[in-house]
Structure 1
Amino acid sequence: MGKTTTCQRKKGSQSLRQRLLLATLSSKPIIIDEIRADETIPGLQLHEISLLRLFETVSDDCRIQINETGTQVKYKPGIIMGGKNLVHNCALTRSIGYYLEPLLVLGLFGKKPLSIRLKGITNDPKDPSVDTIRNTTLNILKRFGVPAEGLDLRIEARGVAPDGGGEVLLTVPNVQALTAVQWLDEGMVKRIRGWTFSARVSSDFEHSMRFTARGIFNNLLPDVHIFSDHKAGPQAGKSPGYGISLVAETTSGCYISADTTVSCGRTDETGELDGEKQERKPAEDTGADIASWLLQEIEKGGVVDSTHQGLLFILCALCQQDVSKVRVGTLSPYGVETLRNIKEFLGVTFGIRPDPLTGTVILTCVGSGLVNLARKLS
């Protein structure tokens, strides 16, 4: 009876990744019903099943039950173990970035430091690229007291849709607890760094993106450098494609990012060639679009870009029982959904105050005080 009363019940496929993460950190069993129950292809998708298996890989005594139609999941969290030499083959319906976001937080509260090799798609238009996670997300974690030593993401092979073939090595250290932050000063942009890549296509695509993006930024500031990463052979993965990731670093140590990837010959879910991709825009247009996107993110204000709002709120909510105060631009739908999930699983409520002078929003909370007991006992 005790287990039934403490079990959270949710409906639908939205926020599945966040719900599993927060259920694990708060040690609350969860039942999710009606997962795409009314859709043509009901139930869990391949990447969601793969994510559940990843949670099993890094945990001990984690129990997962999926019904025959895949429309219901019962999840009982285990102990986050971490460990070395782990390997996970990610489903090719989402990129590795989809799996890395929850994995980074899980790894912090493991019994042992985490070292895991993820295989699949490294760069995709839908999820943050591995470049963005390496150059932006890891820096956000350091703000909360995560040691730089042992925190690393190494890109060993590129892989784009539809066939992947990419490989990264993630290492995450353990923490006792996260440090609360007062992070309100966005600062001014002092430098822009970028990374282009090409795999199984001509490096001319990279040159076009780099030249156009740099031309836009050089009108605004002098310190702009965009690196090239052309892959060949096994390191180029199994499908052709190219992409660009840009990061603006400010005087106060904020990192604002934007990225995109073009997959040559991506297929849709029915296996037919995606018609939109057949009429692909020139690479220089891709460079111009992503530069404009980064400038829009900077204009919105805030200490992180809209993609990282969810992670920022989760880290604040997990901090020691002290006040955290952060500034973001316009609240994204993903950010709002994250605030709801945090309240339901961790019992942490954020105070939200718009700042009319800057058009930004200031959020304040008292952390849940999550402590890594596994690390304390080891």
Structure 2
Amino acid sequence: MLTLDGSHGEGGGQVLRTALSLAVLLRRPVSITRIRERRPKPGLQPQHLTVVRALAAVSDARVQGDALDSMEISFEPRILRGGHYRFDVGAMTGSAGSVSLLFQALLLPLARAEAASRLTLVGGTHVLWSPTVDYVTGVFLPVLREIGVDAAVTLRRRGWYPAGGGEIEAVITPGRGLRALRWETPAGPPRLAGISTVSRLPVTIAERQRQQALARIGERCLQADIAVVGDDGALGPGTSLLLTASGPGRLAGFCALGRRGLRAEAVADAAVDPLLAYLDSGAAVDDHLADQLLPFLALAPQPSVLTCPSISEHLRTVAWVVERLLPTRVSFDEGPPARVTVIPDAGGPGVPTTLDRTAS
């Protein structure tokens, strides 16, 4: 059984999610030790434990160590089974843990299952340290469609920290294989867009976020189409702003969340600043998208190349996990912009598999 050090690199839940997701796809047993060892609350927290149990459910896995605060697990998947599933991140302790991270962990294997899947996921849809559902639908999934992943997410109810209770429905239709991605130098000027959202708060907050973002972007002689959304269906209050840059050979997203005491203008600045830095870098994708795409690109039949503003510790950590589960090499050039090259079947330390890499 392959054993991975869960404290490696970024040292958070990334090792756990990526390793178990690939393990289910490959039907390969793994054990993970020292899970989140350096975090203030080490071990499996509710959102991580939900990922473990969800991946076990779709693979009929034998699992040891799946308990709150556990620092070590063993995971032996036996099958890969599409179907209808419901998972609630807050079922154990009322957590507002991220449904986006849960969805991404399930998507990788279920996109290669024999049958389609419909997922209902309950928890936090707009929470810190994870992509918002707006980012998933507006950035992550559109790029995956470019490489052959057929999945759609519908936001049923927003869930903010600490109330949680958000809900999404995801439909995943398996395909025959994945295509490589070669996004190095974007062509032409970017199209800038966004969505400014408030739940259970005055819509004027979302308007102020929008106006500040437009003013900042306008200083660069750029324009953006930013929608304003007011929502009373969430269980608790919250605000967010997502800004995207799209065009031939590029897609990136930058999200900021409001909190008590933080002015709407500061929320806007927190999204605009990385957007402008990204545009200055000349990169094709944002740093977060780079690490989210990497496991999918490792399964394509041909090499992939993409550029991002920098090589994050998350990206290095995902590459480390991928190279231990697949015969794939990932190389980095610091740039600028940073360049990521993914070479499948490159004789890396991961063992060869019989996984069909045929492009659809």
TM range (shorter): 0.7 to 0.9
Q: Among 338, 345, 357, which residue is 1:360 paired with?
A: 338
**Any idea what the Cα deviations from partners look like across 1:270-290, whole Å, max 9, x if unmatched?**
xxxxxxxxxx22111211221
Query: 2:100 aligns to what?
Result: 97
The CA distance in 1 between the partners of 2:355 and 2:342, in whole Å, is 20
**Any idea what the Cα deviations from partners look like across 1:240-277, whole Å, max 9, x if unmatched?**
11111111112x1421110021244xxxxxxxxxxxxx
Check if 1:106 corresponds to 2:109. yes
**What is the aligned length?**
342
The CA distance in 2 between the partners of 1:164 and 1:308, in whole Å, is 24
Q: Among 290, 293, 298, which residue is 1:309 paired with?
A: 290
Tell me the percent identity: 20
RMSD: 2.5
Quick one: structure 1 residues 9 and 36, their matched pair in 2 at CA, closer, same or farther if it must change by over 3 Å?
closer
TM-score for the superposition, normalised by structure 1 = 0.83
Check the 8 A contact 1:196/1:227 in 2, yes or no. yes
Query: 1:8 aligns to what?
Result: 3
Quick one: structure 1 residues 360 and 61, their matched pair in 2 at CA, closer, same or farther if it must change by over 3 Å?
closer
Query: 1:156 aligns to what?
Result: 156
SS in 2 for 1:79: coil
Q: Counterparts in 2 of 1:228-377, with a 5 A limit?
A: 228-232=228-232, 235=233, 237-250=234-247, 252-264=248-260, 280-320=261-301, 322-355=302-335, 358-366=336-344, 371=355
* One-letter code aligned to 1:348: T
Quick one: structure 1 residues 166 and 183, their matched pair in 2 at CA, closer, same or farther if it must change by over 3 Å?
same
Max Rg structure: 1
Check if 1:123 corresponds to 2:119. no
The CA distance in 2 between the partners of 1:308 and 1:161, in whole Å, is 23
Check the 8 A contact 2:217/2:224 in 1, yes or no. yes
Please list every run of 5 or more consecutive structure 1 residues that lacks an aligned counterpart in the other structure: 1-5, 265-279
Check the 8 A contact 2:82/2:117 in 1, yes or no. yes
Please list every run of 5 or more consecutive structure 2 residues that lacks an aligned counterpart in the other structure: 346-351
Q: Give the C-alpha shift of residue 136 in structure 1.
A: 0.2
The CA distance in 2 between the partners of 1:200 and 1:231, in whole Å, is 6
* One-letter code aligned to 2:65: I
Query: 2:176 aligns to what?
Result: 176
Mean Cα displacement is larger for which, 115-124 or 97-106?
97-106
The CA distance in 2 between the partners of 1:282 and 1:10, in whole Å, is 41
Check the 8 A contact 2:3/2:33 in 1, yes or no. no
Mean Cα displacement is larger for which, 13-22 or 198-207?
13-22
The CA distance in 2 between the partners of 1:263 and 1:64, in whole Å, is 38
